[in-house]
Structure 1
Amino acid sequence: MADLAKNWPVAVNAAAGLVLAGFIGWQFIGGSSEEGAPARPTVAEAPAEAGPQEAPRVEGAIGVDLERIINADSEPGNWLAHGRTFDEQRFSPLDQITADNIGELSLAWSTDTYTTRGLEATPIVVDGVMYLSLNWGIAIAVDAKTGEELWRFDPEVPGEWGRYGCCDVVNRGVAVWKGRVYTASFDGRLFALDAKDGSVVWEVNTIPGPPYTITGAPRVFNDKVVIGNGGGEYGVRGYITAYDTETGEEAWRFYTVPGDPSLPLEHPELEAAVPTWKGGEWWKVGGGGTAWDSMVFEPETNTLYVGTGNGSPWTRAIRSPGGGDNLYLSSILALNADSGRMKWYYQTTPGDNWDYTATQPLMLADIEIDGKLRNVIMQAPKNGFFYVLDRNTGELLSANPFSTVTWASHVDLETGRPVETGEGEFNDRTAFVLPSANGAHNWHPMAFHPGTGLVYIPTQDIAGIYSLSEQWKRDGEYEVKENWWNTGIDWTAYVDAINALPEIPMEKGYLKAWDPVKGEARWQAEYPAPLNGGVLATAGNLVFQGTADGYFHAYKADTGERVWSQYIQTGIVAAPVTYTVDGEQYVAVLAGWGGVNIVSGDARTSAAARYGNEGRLIAFKIGGGGELPQLALRDQSIPEWPALTASEEEVRHGEIGYATYCMLCHGALAISPGVTPDLRRMNENVRAMFDEIVRGGILSDNGMASFADHLSEEDVQAIKSYIQKRALEDRARQEVTN
């Protein structure tokens, strides 16, 4: 461990990336460890200008309906749906900003969001008003010309619910339909808000309770609003639900995996799924298959396409020891949009063993393949292969690796199945696998440019460490942890693997311009860190993307030449949008780092570690002339700690406890990338109250829920001793460096 600490920048870079998922477990809500954490802001706590205001241009939202979204290209100055159009290509026909004049692009306005966590939403823009979501499912309306906040709705999610989030308390957006804004809260409620003032029209609870969460954006069509949920790491059963947009009444629900076999099946599609789950008791750990992000509606065929998630537990040896594909995990489902009945499915990773979800963005396009125009659906899921399928039939047309893949050699086009290499097996060993559970591509939206024929994908190379639960290997039993992670992964083996590595391989991030016909990259831009922002393509021959290290870039769509950059000082994971107001084109993006990056972030490149993570909504235009306010650098020093008196055994116990319960939020090796408090920097007062915080839950309102159900006093003291050891090691390194 001492050798690893000497090279802490390299170590934390890969330790964070190799952490299997790089997800959040328990959390403070922003702030510094010295002060605990500030509570989430409410309208009353925000500056006066952030409160409800007159909204002079919200009337246009009344007219957003099926025909208007279908004909979105006739009004390219708006951004009416999650991906602008129903096909979710994230391409805009606007061409006022081009590769030739982008040197004149500068800040038009910026507005503070009063958040310090990940911001992932794609704004909706209707007739000069922008509607979007923030942390926890807070929704706001903003004047798209000035950035002035018009109204704010806070669903007032209990802070302790943050413990149930695998990947931060994020939200990916809202939907607008016939004068209403639809938004989902982190604790599983779906709201219909009046677009004029944000007042609640109706509210419905979509989940049975914790540990379910919602982070995805709802989709709306045919007077129905559809939402999925998350919680696959914790032990839930996935499903998608459609509600009546006018009343909130349930229209249909589709379960993605079978439940308790002693109970009746909810719908006929599960009859085909049951035989593919063999020998286990998956229903006791939920089964997984959560539809936590991607959904695409096709009006011509009245089809809703949905991507489903990983199994619960991750490990198929525990989940389904008799084998089987475990339908409908890690699959693309084509459903009748009115009834919810399935038309076809395609499973990208049968019997998923690595958290290779297929919840990554789905995209519809019509492209020429072998001289024939095909209606296709495309996806770059976590497993590293780029899939092109006939969206009418589900026929696999191509599947080529777009990143480094070691778990499979290729996808057999005859069977549609990946051919596993064996390098991903970890029943009897600790395995290093590419991609990791962070994926070769995660939720960050990709874009398609019909002029170049290219798909622009936020891509990464991150290796994962996997080892099967020691209890399962020893006894053939698995103890389900209520309201906590149930992955089937041995965290002790993970820690040992990290400690044994003399030097951990570096992670890389890329923006790849992918040719879906040839199955190869046309060009790529390389970044110093993975998990960068979503993508926007425009008719100005431009591709926009924000990065983890705090930049907003523009590239020529055809060649990949970088033609413009702006340093934002805040990491970006959200996707940009573009729109017009009064004849001027704007490009806007949310800046706020987080999500899966909380543990997967690299402290060397994280803008959050240097400047904090003050959320901003930022818009640019030609000749904007504005400048972003400069953020203050954060103090990176580690305070003095007393000499370590704990035994090696106690520190080791704390190291395993930290990896199991704390690392998922506060970072591998106790090094936070900057979104949540760095526990090495706790002051004396916080250290003295450590047990009251961890077990007593005195900061539960701020998101740091009690862990008394899993940790004893002795466990907490051991974890504190491990943090103390890491603080002493890294303080000594700082003193030598300085």
Structure 2
Amino acid sequence: MTIKNWALAVTAWGALSLASCDALTDVMGDDGITGAMLVGAEADDANWMTHGRTYSEQRYSPLDQINAENVGSLGLAWFADMDTARGQEATPLVIDGKLYLTTAWSKVKAFDAATGEALWDFDPQVPGETAVKACCDTVNRGLAAWGDSLFLGTLDGRLVALDRDTGEVQWETVTVDQSQSYTVTGAPRVIDGKVIIGNGGAEFGVRGYVAAYDAESGEELWRFYTVPEGTEDDQSPEYLQVAAETWNTEVLAGSDAIGGGGTVWDSMAYDPDLDMLYIGVGNGSPWNRAYRSPGEDGTGDGDNLYLSSIVAIRPDTGEYVWHYQTTPGETWDYTATQHIVLADMEIDGEERQVLMQAPKNGFFYVIDRATGEFISGEPYTGLNWATGIDESGRPIENPETRIDKTGEPALVLPGPLGGHNWHPMAYHPGENLVYIPAFEAGWIYSPQANWKPDTARGFNIGMDMAANDLPPDLGIRRQVEGTIKGMLVAWDPIAQEARWSVDHSGPWNGGLLATGGDLVFQGNQSSTFKAYNAASGEELWSFGAQTGIVAPPITYKVDGEQYVAVLAGWGGAFSTSTDGGLINKDGAVRNISRLLVFKLGGEAALPAMPELAAMPLDPPVSRASAETIAAGGTDYARYCAVCHGPAAVGATYLPDLRRSGALGNRGTWASIVHEGALSANGMASFSDSLSTEEIEALRAYVIHRANEDKALEGASDTEQVARR
């Protein structure tokens, strides 16, 4: 039976209240997870069988045992420490009373969902040097289930099928060209026995695609490329011929060719009635369109399909159906890979099947998911790159922010982290509200002259990343801090306005869960996990998690008792691309990676929080010339800042290079950066991108920066300003 037939059949039992997956098994037979179960997941309130709980990705559960009246008595039921002190972004799955999750480095763990008893774990042994191919930490966002198997995408690009009972490998297949800087961090989806997975790596110059694999064998069934290859002809798929007309194809196929980007690294949703899979497509490579698609005058031109687009395809064949491009000719890293939510609602007196998204560019979109027709779009956060969206659905751009045309730097809002990043939204059908983990953070986009691609190790964005380095003065840093905001926004998709919002102390906060108990759950950068009233935003409950939370919560039921679970652990793009927590009103954020599980009356307690011990700031004397330091700073911004922080101010869980013992020894520094002595820890060799002289200039730059900050230690803000 196909998914389309299942979609028709499921309406016959959609009114059933299925207490657990056992009830589904009684109906469907002992076949493990089936298509009917995934299509009917909305009626199964006990389990969380797919990434967004249902194919519609609403992240809403009707469970109401925990509700606005009694959530104050919610307590910790059990917790489990993780063995990976990196960013934790996964959504767990719960099936038949067992909880399955992924952690950083693509590891998998299974627990008894009620007691926390560890059942099995799996380590795919991702090579440490893969870490330098990941723009945004060694994260993983989750699993997919079909039959008796679980499916995992690994950071180094493999798709692995595991036995759900034992964790044993059933098969694995490589889904990417591992000689290029591809990564896989997103959760697969399964539709009718086809495991669908995308990939990341646009910043490093790869070509994006999504592909389907047979759940039984791992055989690739189809592949859908999101950008043209540059050599399209009459035999090429029509949708790629159309796309090629919007690019300078020499950029894609010439002597300095790069892949163009457009990676499908996260969001997907599926409508079984329409039999359409919706994918979110990422940014261009490089970001600066003037290099991707120059016009006759040498400045940027062309929409560059299908970058920054929502694309509808057929899951059986990978056939293109329609697309909607949120940011034509994107040049600001405005991906459309953010969470996609499907819902049915009445708009202007007409029942509409809609698709909703709050992509990076700051607009909230409501789109007809059958046709791709633009219905409405309004800003959900601060922005200055556009003044609105016209009737055709095309943005009305601010020409001053079009740095690919002006060739001049511009402060643009949102910046490359967007107004909303990967953190999932939630939709409450009773309130008809979409809850968005939004923020405001601008960036100076500065075109880099004479830029050339480096597909080995470098960030291929065509921008001067050093233009955003903050000076060491804490007074200035705190001024910048005041411009960066984080908030939970309850968005009315019909009125296209916020009904309420809650301010956070920083911008990088967790994904969301809405429940039938009139609750919205979210973790945050301030190391707390909170419950809010879904209608009003009133804070009803809070738990001190000891670590920043970026992952989304889930809820499930075992033996009649409701639980709420969230994977805690600070990390991801913002945590490594900021100054170690200074751009956060609550100070440095820790990584203590744990799974936290709650129930009413839970009495478990976390151990005491360990002290944060920082290495001393005691650098050697800076003796290099200003020219050497400047050159090292330019290379540091391109090759090092994404992991070790802008201006060499590191995060709390990756090495702060200003405090490294290797700074004082040229040979030790070279053995790490040039020879790859610490590749097993994720620090690969950069010898294929940087010469020994350039690597030594990097050391000179970090020494210089360490001395600057050493001179300011212990000084007040006023004293620091005076010294400068």
TM-score (norm 1): 0.88
Paired position in structure 1 for 2:201: 231
Between stretches 648-657 and 460-469, larger displacement belongs to 648-657
Once the two structures are TM-superposed, the CA of residue 647 in structure 1 deviates from its matched residue by: 2.4
Aligned match for 1:100, one of 48, 53, 69:
69
Cα distance in 2, alignment partners of residues 301 and 262 from structure 1: 30
2:511 maps to 534
Equivalent runs, 1:280-429 vs 2, <5 Å: 280-283=250-253, 284-322=257-295, 323-413=301-391, 415-426=392-403, 427-429=406-408
Residue in 2 that maps onto 1:221 = 191
Shift of 1:62: 5.0
1:263-321 deviation per Cα after TM superposition (whole angstroms, max 9, x unaligned)? 77652321211111136413411011111101111111111111101111111111011
CA distance in 2 between counterparts of 1:684 and 1:652 reads 20
1:266/1:700 CA distance change after superposition, 3 Å:
farther
Following the alignment from structure 2 to structure 1, what is the Cα–Cα distance between the partners of residues 695 and 589? 30
Match of 1:545 among 522, 534, 538: 522
**Using a 3 Å threshold, how does the CA distance of structure 1 residues 281 and 685 change in structure 2: closer, same or farther?**
closer
Q: 1:134 aligns with which of 76, 94, 103?
A: 103
Report the residue type matching 1:419 in the other structure: I
Q: Deviations over 1:91-127 (max 9, x none)?
A: 0000011111111011101101111111111001011
Residue 135 of structure 1, CA deviation: 1.4
Q: Does 1:434 align with 2:413?
A: yes
Alpha carbons of structure 1 residues 642 and 339: separation in structure 2 relative to 1, 3 Å: closer
Q: What's the secondary structure of 1:233's corresponding residue?
A: helix
**SS at 2:388 equivalent:** strand
Displacement of 1:163 in angstroms is: 0.9
Distance 1:636 1:733 in 2: 16
The residue aligned with 2:211 is: 241
Q: What is the distance in 2 between the residues matched to 1:202 and 1:177?
A: 14
Counterpart of 1:212 in structure 2: which amino acid?
Y
1:325-724 aligned at under 5 Å gives the runs 325-413=303-391, 415-426=392-403, 427-471=406-450, 478-495=452-469, 503-504=479-480, 506-601=483-578, 603-604=581-582, 612-636=590-614, 638-683=616-661, 687=665, 689-724=668-703
Distance 1:252 1:395 in 2: 27
CA contact (8 A) 2:577 2:642 kept: no
Count of residues paired in the alignment: 675
- State how far apart, in whole Å, the 1-side matches of 2:464 and 2:250 are: 19
Out of 147, 166, 171, the position equivalent to 1:197 is 166
Query: Could you give the per-residue CA deviations for residues 482-535 of structure 1, whole angstroms, max 9, x where no partner exists?
Result: 342211112354459999989535311110000000000011111111121100
Equivalent of residue 168 in structure 1, options 122, 137, 157 = 137
Q: Note closer, same or farther for the CA distance 1:172–1:432 as it changes in structure 2 (3 Å cut).
A: same
Letter in 2 for 1:296: A
Alignment gaps of 5+ in structure 2:
1-21, 296-300, 718-724
Q: Distance in 2 between matches of 1:62 and 1:139?
A: 23
Tell me the residue number matched to 1:49.
none
Equivalent-residue separation in structure 2 for 1:542 and 1:366 (angstroms):
21
Q: Deviations over 1:332-385 (max 9, x none)?
A: 111111111111111111111111010001010001111111110000000000
Q: Which residue of 1 aligns with 2:4?
A: none
- The Cα of 1:600 is off from its aligned counterpart by 3.6
User: What residue identity is the alignment partner of 1:241?
Assistant: A
Deviations 1:561-595 (A, max 9, x none): 01111111111110000011121111100011111
Distance 1:700 1:604, change over 3 A: same
Partner SS for 1:161: helix
Alignment identity in percent? 49
> In the aligned structure 1, how far is the partner of 2:98 from the partner of 2:394?
46
Cα contact 1:445–1:575 (8 A) shared by 2: yes
Q: Confirm or deny: 8 A CA contact 2:198 2:265 kept in the other structure.
A: yes
Structure 1 residues not aligned, in runs of 5+: 1-56, 473-477
Letter in 2 for 1:448: Y
Give the Cα separation in 1 of the matches to 2:204 and 2:584: 28
TM superposition shift of 1:639 = 3.2
In the alignment, the residues of structure 1 paired with residue 663 and residue 330 of structure 2 have an alpha-carbon distance, to the nearest angstrom, of: 45
Counterpart-to-counterpart distance in 1, 2:540 and 2:172: 46
- 8 Å CA contact retained: 1:459, 1:509: yes
Mapped partners of 1:74, 1:486: distance in 2: 46
Q: CA offsets, 1:456-490, max 9 Å, x none?
A: 00001000111112115xxxxx4444342211112
Distance 2:649 2:246 in 1: 41
* Preserved CA contact (<8 Å) 2:469 2:647: no
**Following TM superposition, by how much is the alpha carbon of 1:690 offset from its aligned partner in structure 2, in angstroms?**
1.6
After TM superposition, give the deviation of residue 633 of structure 1 in Å. 1.8
Contact between 2:486 and 2:504, CA under 8 Å: does it hold in 1?
Answer: yes
Contact map agreement 1:569 1:607 (CA 8 A) in 2: no
Write the deviation string for residues 426-460 of structure 1: whole angstroms up to 9, x where unpaired.
Answer: 24211100001101001100000011110000001
Distance of aligned partners of 1:430 and 1:393 in 2 relative to their CA distance in 1, 3 Å threshold: same
Alpha-carbon distance in 2 for matches of 1:708, 1:635: 32
Task: Give the whole-Å Cα distance in 1 for the aligned partners of 2:425 and 2:231.
Answer: 39
Quote the offset at 1:722 in angstroms: 2.2
Aligned to 1:27: none
Amino acid at match of 2:278: Y
TM superposition shift of 1:724: 2.1
Q: 2: CA distance between counterparts of 1:390 and 1:337?
A: 19
Residue identity matched to 2:171 = W
**CA deviation map 1:667-705 (0-9, x unaligned):** 112112313111122236885622211111000011100
Cα contact 1:130–1:141 (8 A) shared by 2: yes
Aligned-pair CA distance for 1:617: 0.5
Contact kept, 8 Å, 1:571 with 1:608, in 2: the verdict is no
